C-alpha cells in the first residue's frame, strides 16, 4: 500500500510540476523572455548596423583614394614612358557628352596620356569644360570654329566634307607652342570621340619612331582596312575605296612621333583637299614615305581600334510634348 501511494504521489508530483512549469512558462516566463530576447536582438542589430556603416564609410574613403591614384597615374610613376598627345575634335550635338564620357573611361586606364579636346565653337562651352574638369584625365581644352560655309549640316552624309580640320590644326598649334620635343618627346594620335579603342592600341603606338600603323575595323565599307605587311615592312594596303591614295587609311590607323611636327612646322590639315585625302596630305607634308611606316598590332594582323559611329538620336517627341503639354524636358538637366 505504501509503495502504491508513493508511486501515486510521485506521478502526482510530476504531473503538478509539469503543469506548473507549463503555466509559468506560458503565462509569465515566455512573454518576458521573448521580449527580452527581442530587445537583445534589436540592440545587437543596431550595433551591427553601426559597425557596417563605419566599414562602408572607411571603404568609401579608400575608394576615393584609389580613384585619385588612378587619375594621377601616368603623370608621376609612369613619367618615364613617352606621352601620348591624343587629339579629339568635338562639336555640340545631343550625343556629345555621352561620347566623351565613354571615351574618357577608356583613357582612365591609359598611363601618361594628354587628351587635347578641341570644340568646334567660338569659345569653350560650359558642358565640355565641366566634363573635362571631372574626367580624371589630364587634358587641354581648346576651341576653334569651323566657318559656316564649309561646316557640315545636320543631315549631310558623313563623307560629304572634311571634318575636324581646324580643330586638329588648333591642337597642333598648341603642341608646337607648349611641348618641348627634346625634353618631353611623345606621340600624336588623332582620335574621334565616337570611335572604339582597345587599351592595347595605346601601348602599340607609344614607342613610335616616326609613324606607326595598324588595322582599323568597320571602316571603308569593309570589316577592316589594313596595311599589307611582308617581312616586317608595309608593302601595300588592303582597302577598296580609292586604293591609289598615297596613304589609303583612316585617321584612327596611325600615330606620329611629335618631333615630326617640329621638324615640319608648316604641316597642317586642309579643308581644300579631295575627300578621303586628309590622312595622305598630312603624312606627305611630314615627308613620310612607305618605308618609314612601322607596322604594329602583330604585323597588322589584329584589329585594336574600330571606326564606330554613334547613331543620331531622334528627339521628335520633344516637340510633341511641347505641343501636348506645353513644355518639353527640362533644359537645365544636362544630357
- Least confidently predicted of 66-75, 122-131, 281-290: 66-75
218 is a domain residue: no
Phi, psi of 255 (to 5 degrees): -135, 150
Pairing state between β 254-257 and 187-190 = antiparallel
Return the percentage of the chain with pLDDT > 70, whole number: 84
CA distance 113 to 150: 32
In this structure, the answer to whether residues 38 and 186 fall within a common structural domain is: no
Q: Is a pLDDT exceeding 60 seen at residue 215?
A: yes
| Residue 250 belongs to a domain | yes
103, part of any domain = yes
Q: Cα–chain-centroid distance for residue 262?
A: 30
pLDDT the model gives residue 32: 56
- Which CATH number does the domain housing residue 153 bear? 3.90.550.10
Which residue would you say has higher pLDDT here, 326 or 120? 120
Q: What is residue 148's predicted lDDT score, i.e. its pLDDT?
A: 86
Looking at the 3D structure of the chain, how many domains does it have?
2
Is 294 part of any domain? no
| 311 is a catalytic site residue | no
Q: Are 64 and 86 found together in one domain? A: no
Task: Give 37 or 321, the one with higher predicted confidence.
Answer: 321
The pLDDT assigned to 76 comes to 42
Give pLDDT, residue 112: 97
Q: Is residue 93 part of a domain?
A: yes
Give the model's pLDDT for residue 51: 78
CB-CB contact of 131 with 110 (8 Å): no
Whole-angstrom distance, CA of residue 249 vs CA of residue 254: 8
Closest CA to 172 of 191, 188, 192, 195: 188
**Alpha-helical segments (H) within the chain:** 2-24, 30-72, 96-107, 126-133, 165-178, 181-184, 199-205, 259-263, 278-285, 297-300, 316-325
Q: Confirm if 103 and 305 have CB atoms less than 8 A apart.
A: no
> Domain check: are 34 and 182 in the same one?
no
Q: How many CB atoms lie within 10 A of CB 113?
A: 24
The mean pLDDT value for 150-171 works out to 84
Mean pLDDT of 13-28: 60
Across residues 187-201, what is the average pLDDT? Answer: 98
286 against 57, higher pLDDT: 286
Whole-number pLDDT of residue 211? 99
Measured distance CA(264)–CA(6) in Å, rounded: 121
**Residues 273, 252: contact at Cβ < 8 Å?**
no
Task: Give me the domain span that covers residue 68.
Answer: 25-72
Residue 292 resides in a domain? no
For the ranges 25-34, 154-163, 192-201, 312-321, the lowest mean pLDDT is seen at 25-34
Of 272, 219, 277, 273, which is closest to residue 244 (Cα–Cα)?
277
The whole-number pLDDT of residue 27 equals 54
Instruction: Give the pLDDT of residue 6.
Output: 62
165 and 184 assigned to the same domain: yes
Task: Supply the DSSP symbol for 267.
Answer: -
- Please say if the pLDDT value at position 18 is more than 70: no
Residue 2 has pLDDT above 50, yes or no: no
Number of Cβ within 10 Å of residue 134's Cβ equals 9
pTM of the predicted model, to two decimals?
0.77
Residue 65 and residue 98 share a domain: no
What was the pLDDT predicted at 19? 62
Contact present, 114 and 140 (Cβ < 8 Å): yes
Dist. CA 42–CA 61, nearest whole Å:
29
Element (H or E) spanning 201, and its range?
Answer: helix 199-205
Judgement on whether residues 198 and 252 belong to the same structural domain of the protein: yes
- 66 and 154 belong to one structural domain: no
Q: Are residues 151 and 266 in the same domain?
A: yes
**Residue pair 304/223 in contact by the 8 Å Cβ criterion:** no
* Residue 112 maps to a domain: yes
Under DSSP, the state recorded for 312 is P
The answer on 269 and 161 residing in a single domain is yes
- Catalytic residue, chosen from 279, 294, 298, 318, is 279
Mean per-residue pLDDT, 191-220: 98
User: What's the mean pLDDT in 40-55?
Assistant: 76
56-104 pLDDT, tens digit per residue, is 877 767 776 665 565 554 444 455 799 999 999 999 999 999 999 999 9
User: Is 231 annotated to bind ligand?
Assistant: no
Same domain for 203 and 86, yes or no, is yes
Does residue 315 sit within a domain? no
| The predicted structure's pLDDT at residue 68 | 56
What pLDDT, on the 0 to 100 scale, is given for residue 67? 57
Query: Which three-class secondary structure state does DSSP give residue 202?
Result: helix
Task: Tell me, yes or no, whether 68 and 85 share the same domain.
Answer: no
Q: Are residues 55 and 164 in the same domain?
A: no
Q: Which residues 6+ apart lie within 8 Å of 51 measured at CB?
A: none
Amino acid at each position: 500500500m505504501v509503495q502504491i501511494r508513493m508511486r501515486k504521489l510521485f506521478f502526482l508530483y510530476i504531473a503538478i510540476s509539469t503543469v506548473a512549469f507549463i503555466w509559468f512558462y506560458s503565462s509569465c516566463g515566455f512573454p518576458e523572455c521573448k521580449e527580452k530576447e527581442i530587445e537583445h536582438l534589436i540592440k545587437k542589430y543596431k550595433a551591427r548596423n553601426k559597425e557596417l556603416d563605419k566599414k562602408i564609410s572607411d571603404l568609401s574613403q579608400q575608394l576615393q583614394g584609389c580613384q585619385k591614384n588612378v587619375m594621377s597615374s601616368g603623370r608621376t610613376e609612369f613619367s618615364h614612358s613617352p606621352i601620348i598627345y591624343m587629339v579629339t575634335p568635338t562639336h555640340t550635338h545631343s550625343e556629345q557628352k555621352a561620347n566623351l564620357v565613354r571615351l574618357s573611361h577608356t583613357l582612365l586606364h591609359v598611363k601618361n596620356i594628354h587628351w587635347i579636346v578641341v570644340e568646334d565653337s567660338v569659345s569653350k562651352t560650359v558642358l565640355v569644360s565641366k566634363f573635362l574638369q571631372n574626367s580624371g584625365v589630364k587634358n587641354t581644352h581648346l576651341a576653334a570654329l569651323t566657318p559656316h560655309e564649309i561646316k557640315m549640316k545636320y543631315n549631310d552624309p558623313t563623307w560629304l566634307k572634311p571634318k575636324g580640320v581646324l580643330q586638329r590644326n588648333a591642337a597642333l598649334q598648341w603642341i608646337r607652342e607648349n611641348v618641348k620635343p627634346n625634353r618631353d618627346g611623345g606621340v600624336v594620335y588623332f582620335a574621334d570621340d565616337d570611335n572604339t579603342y582597345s587599351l592595347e592600341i595605346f601601348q602599340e603606338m607609344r614607342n613610335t619612331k616616326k609613324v606607326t600603323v595598324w588595322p582599323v575595323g568597320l571602316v571603308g565599307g569593309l570589316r577592316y582596312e589594313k596595311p599589307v605587311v611582308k617581312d616586317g615592312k608595309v608593302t601595300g594596303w588592303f582597302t577598296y575605296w580609292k586604293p591609289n591614295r598615297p596613304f589609303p587609311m583612316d585617321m584612327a590607323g596611325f600615330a606620329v612621333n611629335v618631333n615630326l611636327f617640329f621638324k615640319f612646322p608648316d604641316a597642317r590639315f586642309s579643308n581644300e583637299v579631295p575627300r578621303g585625302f586628309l590622312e595622305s596630305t598630312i603624312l606627305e607634308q611630314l615627308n613620310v614615305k612607305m618605308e618609314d611606316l612601322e607596322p604594329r598590332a602583330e604585323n597588322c594582323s589584329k584589329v585594336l581600334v574600330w571606326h564606330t559611329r554613334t547613331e543620331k538620336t531622334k528627339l521628335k517627341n520633344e516637340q510633341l510634348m511641347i505641343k501636348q503639354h506645353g513644355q518639353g524636358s527640362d533644359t537645365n538637366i544636362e544630357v
